[in-house]
Chains A and B, each alone.
Chain A
Amino acid sequence: MTVILVSSDNQDFKVDKEVAERSILIKNMLEDVGESDSPIPLPNVTAAVLTKVIEYCEHHRNDPVQVPEETDDPRKRSNDIEEWDMKFMQVDQEMLFEIILAANYLDIKPLLDVGCKTVANIIKGKTPEEIRKAFNIVNDFTPEEEAQIKKENEWAEDR
Chain B
Amino acid sequence: MTSPNSEAITIPEILQNVFLHLDRTSLHACSRVSRQWRSWSRHVAWLIYHIPSQDIIDFLGQRHHVEEKSLDGARREDEETDSQGQPLSQSKKPRYLQEFKSRCFRILSLTVGDDTHDDQAVLWTVNKEVFEKWECALPTSLTNLMHLRFGLYCFSHAPMDTTFPTDIVYGLISQNPNLQHLEFLSFREPSYRVLLTALRNNPLQHLTRLEVCSDLEERGLLDLLDLLAVRSNLEDQSQDLEQDQDLVSGSSMSNWNLEELILRSRSGNSFEQFVRASRNSTAPPRPVAVRKLSLLNFCLAVNLDEQEGNEDGVFPLDISFLYHLCRRFPLLQRLQVSSDVVDYKPSPSSFENYIFNHLRDLDEFETWVYYPTEELAREIIKACPNLTEIDLSHHRELHTDDWDILLQHYAPQLESLSAWSVHHLQPPDLVRLVPPSPTLVQRFGGHPSQNWVGLQSLDISANNSLAPAIHMFFKYVPTLRHFKALGVAVEANQLLGYDWVCTGMETLAINILVPTQAWAGYETWRWNVGKDRWGMVGDVNESWGDDECEYFTLDTELPLIPTGQGSYGSDQEDDGSSDTDSESDTGTDTSSSSDSSSNTDSSVDVDTDSSSDTTMDSSSDSSTDSSSDSGTDSESDTDTSSDSDESADESSAPDAAESRSTGVPDKTLPKKRLTYSMRIQIAICQQLGRLTGLKELTLEGRQDIRFDNKEWDCLHLTLQTGLEFLRPLQKNLTRLAVFQLDEELCGRAEMEWIAQNWVHHENTVWQSAFDACSGSSDKMPAHHHLVGSPAALEGVGGGTPVLLCPRFRELLGVSVTGERNLSALEANMNVAWLEGQCRQLTVEKDVAWDHESFFYGQYQDY
Which residue from chain A places its CB closest to the CB of B786 in the assembled complex? Answer: A125
User: Among the interface residues A97, A126, A146, A150, which one has the most CB atoms of the partner chain B within 10 A?
Assistant: A97
Question: Are A137 and B33 within 8 A (Cβ)?
Answer: yes
Distance of A119 Cα from B793 Cα, bound (Å): 14
Which 3 A-B residue pairs are closest in the complex by CB-CB distance? A92-B799, A120-B21, A136-B3
**Contacting residues of chain A (72-106) with chain B, CB-CB under 8 angstroms:** 73-75, 77, 79, 83, 86, 89-98, 100-101, 104
User: With A74-B109, A75-B147 given, is the CB distance from A97 to B9 under 8 Å?
Assistant: yes
Chain B residues whose C-beta falls within 8 Å of the C-beta of A156 in the assembled complex: 28, 45, 96
The answer to whether B30 has its CB under 8 Å from any CB of chain A is yes
Question: Are A74 and B48 within 8 A (Cβ)?
Answer: yes
Distance of A98 Cα from B35 Cα, bound (Å): 23
**Contacting residues of chain B (785-839) with chain A, CB-CB under 8 angstroms:** 788, 790, 793, 795, 798-802, 804-805
The answer to whether A67 has its CB under 8 Å from any CB of chain B is no
Distance of A158 Cα from B124 Cα, bound (Å): 17
Question: Are A159 and B8 within 8 A (Cβ)?
Answer: no
Chain B residues whose C-beta falls within 8 Å of the C-beta of A98 in the assembled complex: 8
Contact of A135 among B6, B17, B28 (CB under 8 A): B6
Distance of A65 Cα from B49 Cα, bound (Å): 30
Question: Are A137 and B6 within 8 A (Cβ)?
Answer: yes
The answer to whether A118 has its CB under 8 Å from any CB of chain B is yes
Contact of A92 among B1, B32, B37, B798 (CB under 8 A): B798
Question: Are B11 and A104 within 8 A (Cβ)?
Answer: yes
Question: Are A128 and B8 within 8 A (Cβ)?
Answer: no
Contact of B14 among A73, A104, A159 (CB under 8 A): A104
Chain B residues whose C-beta falls within 8 Å of the C-beta of A155 in the assembled complex: 92, 96
User: With A92-B802, A124-B26, A155-B96 given, is the CB distance from A119 to B18 under 8 Å?
Assistant: yes
Distance of A133 Cα from B2 Cα, bound (Å): 10
Which residue from chain B places its CB closest to the CB of A81 in the assembled complex? Answer: B804
Question: Are B29 and A131 within 8 A (Cβ)?
Answer: yes
A-B contact pairs, 22 of them (CB 8 A): A75-B147, A79-B21, A83-B732, A94-B799, A95-B799, A96-B802, A97-B9, A104-B13, A113-B17, A116-B17, A118-B802, A120-B18, A124-B26, A124-B805, A126-B26, A138-B34, A149-B32, A156-B45, A156-B96, A158-B50, A158-B52, A159-B49
Question: Are A74 and B108 within 8 A (Cβ)?
Answer: yes
The answer to whether A27 has its CB under 8 Å from any CB of chain B is no
Question: Are B21 and A116 within 8 A (Cβ)?
Answer: yes
Chain A residues whose C-beta falls within 8 Å of the C-beta of B21 in the assembled complex: 77, 79, 116-117, 120
Which residue from chain A places its CB closest to the CB of B20 in the assembled complex? Answer: A77
Distance of A48 Cα from B73 Cα, bound (Å): 85
Using A112-B17, A131-B33, A149-B32 as known contacts, list a sample of 6 further A-B pairs with CB atoms less than 8 Å apart, ordered by residue number in A: A74-B47, A125-B840, A128-B29, A137-B1, A139-B34, A156-B96
Which residue from chain B places its CB closest to the CB of A131 in the assembled complex? Answer: B33
Distance of A119 Cα from B7 Cα, bound (Å): 13
User: Among the interface residues B5, B7, B33, which one has the most CB atoms of the partner chain A within 10 A?
Assistant: B33
Question: Are B14 and A100 within 8 A (Cβ)?
Answer: yes
Question: Are A116 and B788 within 8 A (Cβ)?
Answer: no
Cβ of B37 to closest chain A Cβ, rounded Å: 7
Distance of A153 Cα from B5 Cα, bound (Å): 29
The answer to whether B24 has its CB under 8 Å from any CB of chain A is yes
Chain A residues whose C-beta falls within 8 Å of the C-beta of B28 in the assembled complex: 153, 156-157
Chain B residues whose C-beta falls within 8 Å of the C-beta of A125 in the assembled complex: 26, 788, 805, 840
Distance of A16 Cα from B259 Cα, bound (Å): 38
Chain B residues whose C-beta falls within 8 Å of the C-beta of A29 in the assembled complex: none
Interface of B is mostly: mixed
Chain B residues whose C-beta falls within 8 Å of the C-beta of A89 in the assembled complex: 802, 804
Question: Are A137 and B34 within 8 A (Cβ)?
Answer: yes
Distance of A136 Cα from B800 Cα, bound (Å): 12
Cβ of B89 to closest chain A Cβ, rounded Å: 17
Question: Are B2 and A137 within 8 A (Cβ)?
Answer: yes
Chain A residues whose C-beta falls within 8 Å of the C-beta of B188 in the assembled complex: none
Distance of A85 Cα from B214 Cα, bound (Å): 43
Question: Are B804 and A118 within 8 A (Cβ)?
Answer: yes
Report B154-165 CB contacts with A as 1/0, cut-off 8 Å: 000000000000
Question: Are A126 and B29 within 8 A (Cβ)?
Answer: yes
Question: Are B6 and A159 within 8 A (Cβ)?
Answer: no
Chain B residues whose C-beta falls within 8 Å of the C-beta of A77 in the assembled complex: 20-21
Chain A residues whose C-beta falls within 8 Å of the C-beta of B19 in the assembled complex: 120
The answer to whether B405 has its CB under 8 Å from any CB of chain A is no
Distance of A134 Cα from B30 Cα, bound (Å): 12
The answer to whether A121 has its CB under 8 Å from any CB of chain B is yes
Distance of A77 Cα from B19 Cα, bound (Å): 10
Chain B residues whose C-beta falls within 8 Å of the C-beta of A97 in the assembled complex: 5-9
The answer to whether A9 has its CB under 8 Å from any CB of chain B is no
Residues of B within 8 A of A (CB): 1-3, 5-9, 11, 13-14, 17-26, 28-35, 37-38, 44-45, 47-50, 52, 92, 96, 108-109, 146-147, 731-732, 762, 788, 790, 793, 795, 798-802, 804-805, 840
Cβ of A89 to closest chain B Cβ, rounded Å: 7
Chain A residues whose C-beta falls within 8 Å of the C-beta of B3 in the assembled complex: 135-136
Question: Are B29 and A93 within 8 A (Cβ)?
Answer: no
Contact of A121 among B17, B20, B108, B805 (CB under 8 A): B805
Cβ of A6 to closest chain B Cβ, rounded Å: 22
The answer to whether A140 has its CB under 8 Å from any CB of chain B is yes
Chain B residues whose C-beta falls within 8 Å of the C-beta of A131 in the assembled complex: 29-30, 33
Question: Are A119 and B9 within 8 A (Cβ)?
Answer: yes
Cβ of B731 to closest chain A Cβ, rounded Å: 5
Distance of A82 Cα from B655 Cα, bound (Å): 36
Cβ of B10 to closest chain A Cβ, rounded Å: 9
Cβ of A96 to closest chain B Cβ, rounded Å: 6
Contact of B9 among A92, A124, A135, A140 (CB under 8 A): A135
Cβ of A88 to closest chain B Cβ, rounded Å: 12
User: With A97-B8, A116-B17 given, is the CB distance from A123 to B48 under 8 Å?
Assistant: no
Question: Are A132 and B34 within 8 A (Cβ)?
Answer: yes
**Contacting residues of chain A (34-61) with chain B, CB-CB under 8 angstroms:** none
User: With A124-B22, A159-B45 given, is the CB distance from A86 to B7 under 8 Å?
Assistant: no
Chain A residues whose C-beta falls within 8 Å of the C-beta of B9 in the assembled complex: 97, 100, 119, 135
Distance of A141 Cα from B39 Cα, bound (Å): 12
Distance of A89 Cα from B804 Cα, bound (Å): 9
Cβ of B152 to closest chain A Cβ, rounded Å: 19
Contact of A140 among B34, B109, B732 (CB under 8 A): B34
Distance of A139 Cα from B29 Cα, bound (Å): 13
Chain A residues whose C-beta falls within 8 Å of the C-beta of B48 in the assembled complex: 74-75
Cβ of A15 to closest chain B Cβ, rounded Å: 24
Cβ of B245 to closest chain A Cβ, rounded Å: 34
Distance of A146 Cα from B38 Cα, bound (Å): 11
Distance of A60 Cα from B773 Cα, bound (Å): 42
Cβ of A16 to closest chain B Cβ, rounded Å: 27
Chain A residues whose C-beta falls within 8 Å of the C-beta of B96 in the assembled complex: 155-156
Cβ of B600 to closest chain A Cβ, rounded Å: 49
Distance of A112 Cα from B38 Cα, bound (Å): 22
The answer to whether A62 has its CB under 8 Å from any CB of chain B is no
Question: Are A122 and B29 within 8 A (Cβ)?
Answer: no
Which residue from chain A places its CB closest to the CB of B13 in the assembled complex? Answer: A104
Contact of A116 among B14, B24, B804 (CB under 8 A): B14
The answer to whether A127 has its CB under 8 Å from any CB of chain B is yes
User: Among the interface residues B2, B8, B23, B108, which one has the most CB atoms of the partner chain A within 10 A?
Assistant: B8
Distance of A143 Cα from B5 Cα, bound (Å): 27
Which residue from chain B places its CB closest to the CB of A79 in the assembled complex? Answer: B21
Question: Are B802 and A132 within 8 A (Cβ)?
Answer: no
Contact of A93 among B14, B732, B800 (CB under 8 A): B800
User: With A122-B802, A159-B24, A159-B49 given, is the CB distance from A153 to B31 under 8 Å?
Assistant: yes
Question: Are A141 and B147 within 8 A (Cβ)?
Answer: no
Which residue from chain B places its CB closest to the CB of A150 in the assembled complex? Answer: B32
Chain B residues whose C-beta falls within 8 Å of the C-beta of A74 in the assembled complex: 20, 44, 47-48, 108-109
Chain A residues whose C-beta falls within 8 Å of the C-beta of B788 in the assembled complex: 122, 125-126
Cβ of A139 to closest chain B Cβ, rounded Å: 6
Question: Are A92 and B109 within 8 A (Cβ)?
Answer: no
Chain B residues whose C-beta falls within 8 Å of the C-beta of A122 in the assembled complex: 788, 802, 804
Distance of A96 Cα from B25 Cα, bound (Å): 24
User: Among the interface residues B5, B96, B801, which one has the most CB atoms of the partner chain A within 10 A?
Assistant: B5
